[in-house]
Chain A
Amino acid sequence: MHAGFIFLAVIVGSVLFHIFTPWYWTDIASNWGSMDDTITLTFWVGGGVFVAVCLFMVYCVFKFSYKEERKAEYKPEDKKLERVLTWATTLGVAALLAPGLIVWNQYVNVPKNAIHIDVMAWQWGWQYRLPGEDGKLGATKVVNINDDNPFGIILEDPNGKDDVLVQTDVIHLENNRPVKILLRSVDVLHNWYVPQFRAKMDAVPGVVTYYWFEPNKVGEYEVLCAEYCGVGHYAMRGRVFVKDGKDYENWLQEQETFSDLIAKQEKIELSETKLAKK
């Protein structure tokens, strides 16, 4: 069989695969539909170039395959053609880049009304901290972390006292309310990633990184660690529930605050000293 047919089949097959694929992105559950749009745009432009280049190649293979009597064209350069191609490519690239940068600008600028959530990662698990009534998270320090202070909150910081502590890998988010995810890690790199939200960012020990999104679909989602973090990486999962206002409030009320935790521990200490006295 002529090689050109097989190459043609590969190109046609690629296009058909893309059209009929059962494997494609999950239903989006956040505001980042614009990311999906940039992917779609890139698919149209890039896919078009791929098909055009490959079809041209296949055409050449059919049309100009070796014949003893034919002589190839001798044409070292064609300045005009090269210039046209350069500018056309530059325009195409700019058309892809511009929307990308516009959406990135939204990604790095967090809306003012976003609720801040401290996502703390370690090998291998997650826990979360929400601001209390003051709307502010207390400052933290890795060296402060111990059983009595699982988030390492600086005790002198008044903002930390009413922080809501969620010491499991399950977090609830309020539907249609932007969240700013503040990531930190106590050991190695991690990445808090929910495919349905599209967004992600590494958690880096020593610094606090961030990203934001606005969940817009009630449901349960799986959290995956998306940055290799050692042998337990693949098992480092968590869960997110997106809930409507009322359900979310109910959940929030049930959570313990940092002052609750301190009070509880003081009570335990008190009973322990009493026990010791007896």
Chain B
Amino acid sequence: MSEDFNDNKSIQAQSSETISGGGTATPDTDYVRPAELADQDLYHGHSFITKWVFCQDAKVIGVQYFLLATFTGIIGLILSWLMRLQLGFPEVAGFMTAEHYYQFVTMHGMIMVVYFLTALFLGGFGNYLIPLMCGARDMVFPYVNMVSFWMFFIAVGVLLASFFVPGGPTGSGWTLYPPQAILEGTPGSGMGIILMCVSLALFVAGFTMGGLNYLITVLQARTRGMTLMRMPLTVWGIFTATVLAMLAFPALLVSAIMMTLDKVLGTSFFMPTILKAGEVLEYGGGSPILFQHLFWFFGHPEVYIVALPAFGIISDLISVHSRKNIFGYRMMVWAIVGIGALSFFVWAHHMYVSGMNPWFGFFFATTTLIIAVPTAMKVYNWILTLWRGNIRLNTVMLWCLGFIVTFVNGGITGIFLGNVTVDVPLSDTYFVIAHFHMVMGIAPLMVIMGAVYHWFPLVAGRLLDEKLGKWHFWLTFLGAYSIYFPMHYLGFIGVPRRYFEMYDSPYITSAVGMNQFISTAAFIVGAAQFILIYNIIVSLKMGKPAGKNPWKANSLEWHTPSVPPEHGNWGDKLPVVHRWPYDFSVPGAKEDFIPQTTPPSEVTNTKVEKT
């Protein structure tokens, strides 16, 4: 192994002082503080296995995370089809029992939230973009980063294995509430729930390895000149989300461990005295509500672990494709940080009718509605970025616009549910399902898609097909909107969630037609996702070559010496940053963009306001 480190072809380690040194032609305005540490070489893989399988390159790890998360996401999608088949056309879904239905509900939820969205945003985009956008050669701990992915791989394996154990996967709902999760009467209350807890524990362990990498890379490995307030909002979003994850996931980990102990060793952390089939079980004194507090102490920040990277990415996409700086950058940064901090003080808004002390309602309703203020500021700043921009209505921008519509819609319904009184009639109904799918299902999905169309040219060197992209967008956006917008009204009627069958309650029979409509839309939206897969496969081979910086963007990832960027990202010389990444359409500049690496001396006659 040690020979690998002495590879001749590797990048020559150079002291940074020599890079910046001389100072002959550079005027004072271009001065950037020298680096404190010399540039270090990386471990370079040689064989197929070290280059593509057990790979230490954050970009490859990012793609690995992306692919595996997408794979689990497709399983989640298929499960949602099965659920919608039962709800819309129960006569066709004769093969499905209530046990199956609840198992599908549970696995769909857990897969989509943790193994799809979290893994994709942080593991996928985080790994690919953080080093490139910060001007680093790689993550600071490449080996740990590699282990992180393979822990995720094992976690997914354990999760999927639970489909094949006796009793099947857990069917306790994605919230896994005890006592029900570990008692008979819930499907998969044997091996299913144990494997779920083990898988979550593995995920958290693996994720912590990746998360430490993201944090330390952002804090310690930025290139010269890349101050925190010059970082793209994508990095700010992922960075803050990772901080949240580091603080929130431990709560999930301990609750998974404690529940496993309750199940396997018969402890009573969450188990009070229970009477089951006439027998008093050997539990006593535990609190089911304690689990809910632990779960939501993780679960609410988890919403923002998904949302903050989405906020960051969408800000960058809107700015680049409107040819305009992101409006109110500092406000955007502080909003991300503020939302992140506040997200730890709102968790019990999931528990207004859980039986916790009802006086908590006052506190949590107040904190929840306070969080609406920075969130609204972000929305205003996105649309104000469009204002007087020069908007390219390409596929990427369409996803951005779709995001704004769905996110505002889901955010507003969040104000319904966060405002304790309004929550009482609506909680545990389809209104909740509609709300959280709109705000943390569809809206982040719009961002992911936008990001895929935006960064695919960087990863693959070729553009995705625009025409297919537009079909993909409109089918997904219009379809998803017609799934979830009407669903709110089922919640107003009072249709409870997690019902395998409604029977013929008089006020609910009117919903049959709507359920069929929603299911049909769900089948179409799901199928439309395969357009993207087709588009990717075809464009990899035959897409239009992207060339360098096809979108005329400013941030560093588009300014690597080779496209797609190679291992080590920057060739033999690290970039030096002179400005924020949003200098678009600066008055006086020849082009409508000024990359972050452009020193002030090259654009002397421009009226740059913020650097």
Question: Which positions in A face B, CB cutoff 8 Å?
Answer: 3, 6-7, 10-11, 14, 17, 21-26, 32, 34-36, 38-39, 42, 46-47, 49-50, 53-54, 56-57, 60-61, 64-67, 70-78, 81-82, 85-86, 89-90, 93-94, 96-97, 99-101, 103-105, 107-108, 122-123, 142-143, 145-146, 183, 186-189, 191, 193, 195-196, 198-207, 209, 211, 222, 224-235, 237
Chain B neighbourhood of A78, CB < 8 A: 327-328
Given A76-B610, A186-B275, A189-B177, also A227-B428 (CB < 8 A): yes
Given A21-B489, A53-B379, A200-B353, also A108-B511 (CB < 8 A): no
- Is B327 a contact of A100 with CB atoms below 8 Å? no
Write the nearest CB–CB distance from A237 to chain B, whole angstroms.
8
- Is A23 a contact of B355 with CB atoms below 8 Å? no
- Is A23 a contact of B493 with CB atoms below 8 Å? yes
Subset of 10 A-B contacts with CB under 8 Å:
A24-B493, A39-B426, A46-B412, A50-B408, A53-B408, A72-B323, A72-B389, A74-B607, A143-B275, A199-B425
A233 to B325, CA, bound (A): 52
B492: which of A25, A203, A224, A225 is its contact (CB, 8 Å)?
A25
Is B207 an interface residue when CB atoms closer than 8 A count as contact?
no
Chain B neighbourhood of A100, CB < 8 A: 365, 419-422
- Is B393 a contact of A231 with CB atoms below 8 Å? no
Is B273 an interface residue when CB atoms closer than 8 A count as contact?
yes
- Is B405 a contact of A199 with CB atoms below 8 Å? no
Write the nearest CB–CB distance from B307 to chain A, whole angstroms.
17
- Is B322 a contact of A61 with CB atoms below 8 Å? no
Q: How many residues of B contact A (CB 8 A)?
A: 114
B585: which of A46, A73, A94 is its contact (CB, 8 Å)?
A73
A231: which of B187, B425, B493 is its contact (CB, 8 Å)?
B187
Write the nearest CB–CB distance from B565 to chain A, whole angstroms.
28
Is B264 an interface residue when CB atoms closer than 8 A count as contact?
no
In the complex formed, the residue of A with least CB distance to B414 is: A46
Is B584 an interface residue when CB atoms closer than 8 A count as contact?
yes
Given A100-B421, A191-B353, A203-B355, also A70-B390 (CB < 8 A): yes
- CB under 8 Å from chain A, chain B span 253-305: 272-276, 278, 280, 285-289
A71 to B589, CA, bound (A): 11
A64: which of B387, B428, B478, B510 is its contact (CB, 8 Å)?
B387
Chain B positions 554 through 566: 1 when the CB is less than 8 Å from some CB of chain A, otherwise 0:
0000000000000
- CB under 8 Å from chain A, chain B span 101-120: 102
In the complex formed, the residue of A with least CB distance to B610 is: A76
Write the nearest CB–CB distance from B29 to chain A, whole angstroms.
19
Chain B neighbourhood of A61, CB < 8 A: 386, 391, 393, 401
Write the nearest CB–CB distance from A196 to chain B, whole angstroms.
8
Chain B neighbourhood of A222, CB < 8 A: 505-506
Chain B neighbourhood of A97, CB < 8 A: 365-366, 369, 419
Is B216 an interface residue when CB atoms closer than 8 A count as contact?
no
Chain B neighbourhood of A38, CB < 8 A: 419, 421-422
- Is A96 a contact of B391 with CB atoms below 8 Å? no
Chain A neighbourhood of B585, CB < 8 A: 71-74
Chain B neighbourhood of A104, CB < 8 A: 358, 361-362, 365, 420-421
A40 to B275, CA, bound (A): 42
Chain B positions 306 through 347: 1 when the CB is less than 8 Å from some CB of chain A, otherwise 0:
000000000000000011110111110000000000000000
Write the nearest CB–CB distance from B262 to chain A, whole angstroms.
13
Is B186 an interface residue when CB atoms closer than 8 A count as contact?
yes
A108: which of B183, B361, B497 is its contact (CB, 8 Å)?
B361
Is B48 an interface residue when CB atoms closer than 8 A count as contact?
no
Write the nearest CB–CB distance from B460 to chain A, whole angstroms.
25
Most B CB within 10 A of own CB, among A23, A56, A193: A23
- Is A93 a contact of B372 with CB atoms below 8 Å? yes
When A and B form their complex, what is the total count of cross-chain residue pairs whose Cβ atoms lie within 8 Å? 329
In the complex formed, the residue of B with least CB distance to A184 is: B355
Write the nearest CB–CB distance from A38 to chain B, whole angstroms.
5
In the complex formed, the residue of B with least CB distance to A70 is: B390
Write the nearest CB–CB distance from A135 to chain B, whole angstroms.
23
Given contacts A60-B387, A77-B330, 10 further A-B contacts (CB under 8 A): A38-B422, A53-B404, A61-B386, A64-B322, A90-B373, A100-B422, A101-B362, A143-B280, A145-B275, A196-B494
- Is A225 a contact of B496 with CB atoms below 8 Å? yes
- Is B398 a contact of A77 with CB atoms below 8 Å? no
- Is B404 a contact of A54 with CB atoms below 8 Å? yes
A66 to B390, CA, bound (A): 5
Chain B neighbourhood of A211, CB < 8 A: 353
- Is B355 a contact of A183 with CB atoms below 8 Å? yes
- Is A228 a contact of B177 with CB atoms below 8 Å? yes
Given A103-B421, A108-B361, A188-B179, also A204-B289 (CB < 8 A): yes
Chain B neighbourhood of A26, CB < 8 A: 493-494, 507
- Is A186 a contact of B274 with CB atoms below 8 Å? yes
Given A82-B328, A206-B286, also A50-B183 (CB < 8 A): no
Is B157 an interface residue when CB atoms closer than 8 A count as contact?
no
- Is A39 a contact of B422 with CB atoms below 8 Å? yes
- Is A76 a contact of B408 with CB atoms below 8 Å? no
- Is A230 a contact of B180 with CB atoms below 8 Å? yes
Chain A neighbourhood of B286, CB < 8 A: 206
Chain B neighbourhood of A103, CB < 8 A: 421
- Is A226 a contact of B428 with CB atoms below 8 Å? yes
Chain B neighbourhood of A235, CB < 8 A: 501
Chain B neighbourhood of A233, CB < 8 A: 102, 498-500
Chain B positions 373 through 397: 1 when the CB is less than 8 Å from some CB of chain A, otherwise 0:
1001101100110111111110000
Chain A neighbourhood of B388, CB < 8 A: 64, 72-73, 75
A142 to B585, CA, bound (A): 72
Is B370 an interface residue when CB atoms closer than 8 A count as contact?
yes
- Is B582 a contact of A50 with CB atoms below 8 Å? no
Write the nearest CB–CB distance from A70 to chain B, whole angstroms.
5
- Is A93 a contact of B369 with CB atoms below 8 Å? yes
Chain A neighbourhood of B490, CB < 8 A: 23
- Is A64 a contact of B389 with CB atoms below 8 Å? yes
Chain A neighbourhood of B324, CB < 8 A: 72-74
Is B427 an interface residue when CB atoms closer than 8 A count as contact?
yes
A75 to B171, CA, bound (A): 52
- Is A205 a contact of B419 with CB atoms below 8 Å? no
A252 to B186, CA, bound (A): 36
The 3 closest A-B pairs by CB, nearest first: A206-B272, A195-B494, A209-B355
A46 to B392, CA, bound (A): 29
